[in-house]
Amino acid sequence: MRNARTAACLAALLACAGFACASGPRPKELLALEHMRTDPTLSDTDRQAFDLLAAADALLLRSEIDWDHHDRAATRRDALMGQIKMKTALAMIQRQRAADRAAQLGAEQAIANDEYADLTDRLAVVHEQVALLERFQAATTTATRERQALSSQLAAERQRADALDGLRHAELALRAAETVDAATYAKAKDTAAASMLQQAHKDFDAGHWDAVLTGSALAKMEAEQALEIARPSYEAASTALTSRARDRALEGDATAISTLRTRLERDGDLQRLVLVLEGLFVPKRSVLTPDEAKVLDPVKDLLAKYPTYPIQIAAFPGEQSPSDGYTALSLARANAVYWALVSRGIDPKRLSIDVRGAATPATRSQDARVELSVLYHIAP
């Protein structure tokens, strides 16, 4: 119940702060704390740091109250303390996730250890056989022919043991390469290693110990090279997959806004997601009325949901006027949208005015509109 009241108070204060409860720009510390509080890492399933999060919420409430009372120093102090609490909570959550990952890797290591133990047991059996043969050879010194046969058998068993050890090392190297998907990112090396190891096993079954030693050594070398080749590509692919998923989510959320038209423009590896807003201004005016500005609310929500993307703003009056007047009206409207977004909490460092569109005479024949271009690079 207490948590529900705290959340309700926080929501009310945030709503008030977003409109007219305080004057002037809000401190960056407070904005950072509010933004941090929306971090998806702090989901209900990961609230091991509940006390720290509760303390951070309380500091956020206190900072909002300080701001309402025009106490800027107290606002910054409480916001900074809230950030410390929030970052500590995030660190605890990340530490827990790292521990979970370590446990998973430990389980995988246990499986590898079991396989290693199995091969070691087999090797121990071979060594026991070698030891028995050695003792038998010492006990039959009077039989030269038998001693020679035993000596040959002993040498063969030693070679077999060395061959088995070579196979074990090659198999471990190939499994290590599999952890970075070498079959995809170092296909030639991985295929060569697997083929050599398979042939070494055949040679082992046929008793060709020298061929086993040579083949398993080559297979181990190829597997180690595959590991080194595949690791950078594997890590880059993991990062690119995350970026592509975020870009697709952005495009999907943008097209879901009914008040927008969207289009995609590509220039090399630079992608523009263009958000087209029409009917935002009265003809020949560059001032946004409150009702007109409401159209920007879903745009603000979209940009806040994806806070790492830069945005360019361009206005196209679509009206017949002299070139200088056309450019001035375009820039004035773009600036009006810029400040409307900033007043709604969008970081001004993300925003820029695109003057190229505003100065193109060919655009005068098109409909009056404002275009917000969300920029991002296309992952390879």
pLDDT at 143: 65
SS (HEC) of the chain: CHHHHHHHHHHHHHHHHHHCCCCCCCCHHHHHHHHHHCCHHHCHHHHHHHHHHHHHHHHHHHHHHHHHCCCHHHHHHHHHHHHHHHHHHHHHHHHHHHHHHHHHHHHHHHHHHHHHHHHHHHHHHHHHHHHHHHHHHHHCCCCHHHHHHHHHHHHHHHHHHHHHHHHHHHHHHHHHHHCCCHHHHCHHHHHHHHHHHHHHHHHHHHCCHHHHHHHHHHHHHHHHHHHHHHHHHHHHHHHHHHHHHHHHHHHHHHHCCCCCEEEEEEECCEEEEEEEEECCCCCCCCCCCHHHHCCHHHHHHHHHHCCCCCEEEEEECCCCCCHHHHHHHHHHHHHHHHHHHHHCCCCHHHEEECHHHHCCHHHHHCCCEEEEEEEEECCC
Neighbouring residues of 369: CB distance < 8 A, sequence distance ≥ 6:
276, 277, 278, 280, 315, 316, 318
Q: Please state which of the ranges 116-125, 218-227, 250-259, 272-281 shows the lowest mean pLDDT.
A: 116-125
Closest to 161 (Cα-Cα) out of 117, 202, 115, 126? 126
pLDDT band of 348, cuts 50, 70, 90: very high
Q: Is the pLDDT of residue 226 over 50?
A: yes
> pLDDT (tens digit, 9 = 90+) per residue, 335-344?
999 999 999 9
Instruction: Choose from 33-42, 164-173, 190-199, 285-294 the range with maximum mean pLDDT.
Output: 190-199
Please provide residue 179's backbone torsions phi and psi, each rounded to the nearest 5 degrees. Answer: -70, -20
- Mean pLDDT in residue range 103-129: 83
pLDDT band of 199, cuts 50, 70, 90: very high
What are the structure tokens assigned to 209, written together?
A: 């110990």
- Mean per-residue pLDDT over the chain, rounded: 80
**Percentage of the chain lying above the pLDDT 70 cut:** 83
> pLDDT (tens digit, 9 = 90+) per residue, 272-286?
999 999 888 888 888
Rounded Cα–Cα distance for residues 223 and 28 (Å): 51
- Under 8 Å between Cβ of 194 and 224: no
| Residue entry with tokens 């595949």 | 230
pLDDT band of 58, cuts 50, 70, 90: confident
pLDDT at 380: 56
| Residue entry with tokens 């970081």 | 347
Instruction: Choose from 71-80, 92-101, 202-211 the range with maximum mean pLDDT.
Output: 202-211
- Mean pLDDT in residue range 25-46: 71
pLDDT at 307: 92
pLDDT at 195: 92
Between 22 and 313, residue with greater pLDDT: 313
Q: Is the pLDDT of residue 367 over 70?
A: no
CA 268 from centroid of its chain's CA atoms: 23
Rounded Cα–Cα distance for residues 252 and 232 (Å): 30
Rounded Cα–Cα distance for residues 51 and 5 (Å): 16
Between 130 and 3, residue with greater pLDDT: 130
pLDDT band of 87, cuts 50, 70, 90: confident
Q: Is the pLDDT of residue 56 over 80?
A: no
- Under 8 Å between Cβ of 337 and 313: yes
What are the structure tokens assigned to 9, written together?
A: 């108070």
Q: Please state which of the ranges 14-28, 214-228, 251-265 shows the lowest mean pLDDT.
A: 14-28
pLDDT at 366: 58
Q: Is the pLDDT of residue 88 over 50?
A: yes
